[in-house]
Structures are given as structure tokens and as C-alpha cells.
Amino acid sequence: MPAPDAKADFVSWKIDLNQPSGTNVPNPVVIIDVPLEFPRIDERFMTSVCDRLFLNVFIPEKSGGRKNIFHGLNGLAMHNPKTGLTRWSYGDEPLVQGPVFILRTPVTPEGDGWVVVTIKRRGLNRNDSVVLDTREFEKPVAIVQLPLHLKAQIHGNWIEASILPEWASYVRDIPEVQINNQGALEPLA
């Protein structure tokens, strides 16, 4: 367990590889003063200075009195490092996993789209898949309540199908099943 007074911030380091060995590295600049993991961006701007970061974060005020990130990431943030503006989204007793950004359209401005995130609902023993619109980040567009508990998710990216080469499914197609000359999910009566 980390020390109770442990502190973690999201920082930016400036390292000049043209400087000679032994050169001091400047102190980092704090981007956002909360503990977090797995920051995501609009990947079209991967090598540029970005003005939208999507972060799963630890919010002590929403942690039931617990003060350490060890107890779980309980919020989602959309942060603009250029303006310092942070918008927050969280629910009741969430454990927020890695966010994924999805473009609204191929030519949309940076950060305009949706964020999809898996949220563990500890008290309900289930997970939710939550969709947030970056234009109204504080309230979900959709919550899909999964009727089961999932282990921690993998961390991934959204790739638009139109930019992929020819796509082939790794899952074999299952033919339609007929029961009493009806589809398997249709009522029998």
C-alpha cells in the first residue's frame, strides 16, 4: 500500500536530446493536479501539441473518504492543457477504466466525438459501458448495463473501418437456427 501522503500528478517533461550528457533536466510542468492513468487523445494529433486529453482519474472528494489512488480511479476527465479547463464525469461508486476516443466525423475538429469507457460498479457486481459526447461531457449519452462483472479491460484504440485494408472476420458466421420454422429468438406462440 502506498504511503498515505503519496502524491501523483500528470506532468510534462521537456528533455532536449541535443544537450550534452550531464545537463540538468528542467523540473516538469504539472498539466493536471490529480492522479490518473492511461491518458488518451484524438490520435490524428499524435505528434502535435494536443488541446484535448481524456483521462481516467482519482477524485478524492468522490472516494467515500479514501484519499489514495490505490482505492481506484473513480472519475473521467476531459482536460484542455492550453486553457487549463477540466470537465469531469463520474457516477455512483465507479471504478473507471481506460477511455477510448471516437471521432464524430473524419474531418471533425480535434476532440469532437465520443468517449467510450468501461465502468465497474462495485456495489452492484456488474460493469457498465458508458458513452459520453465531448460536447456535453458531464452527462452520458448512453449507459449499457452489462449483467455481469468483467475483469479489468484491455486498453485499446478506436480505428475507423474506412481506413483499414480489406477486412475479414476472425469469427466464423453461424447460420440462422430455425426452431418450428421460426427464427431462434422469435416467440414460439
| Residues flagged as binding site for Fe cation | 155
d(CA 19, CA 26) in angstroms, rounded, equals: 12
DSSP character at residue 160: -
As given in the structure block, the three cell numbers for residue 147 are 449483467
Q: How far apart are CA 167 and CA 158, in angstroms?
A: 15
The SS3 call for residue 45 is: helix
Q: Which helix (H) or strand (E) holds 130?
A: strand 126-133
Annotated binding site: 155
Contacts of residue 83, defined as CB under 8 A and 6 or more positions apart, other chains included, come to 51
Q: Are 103 and 160 in contact (CB under 8 A)?
A: yes
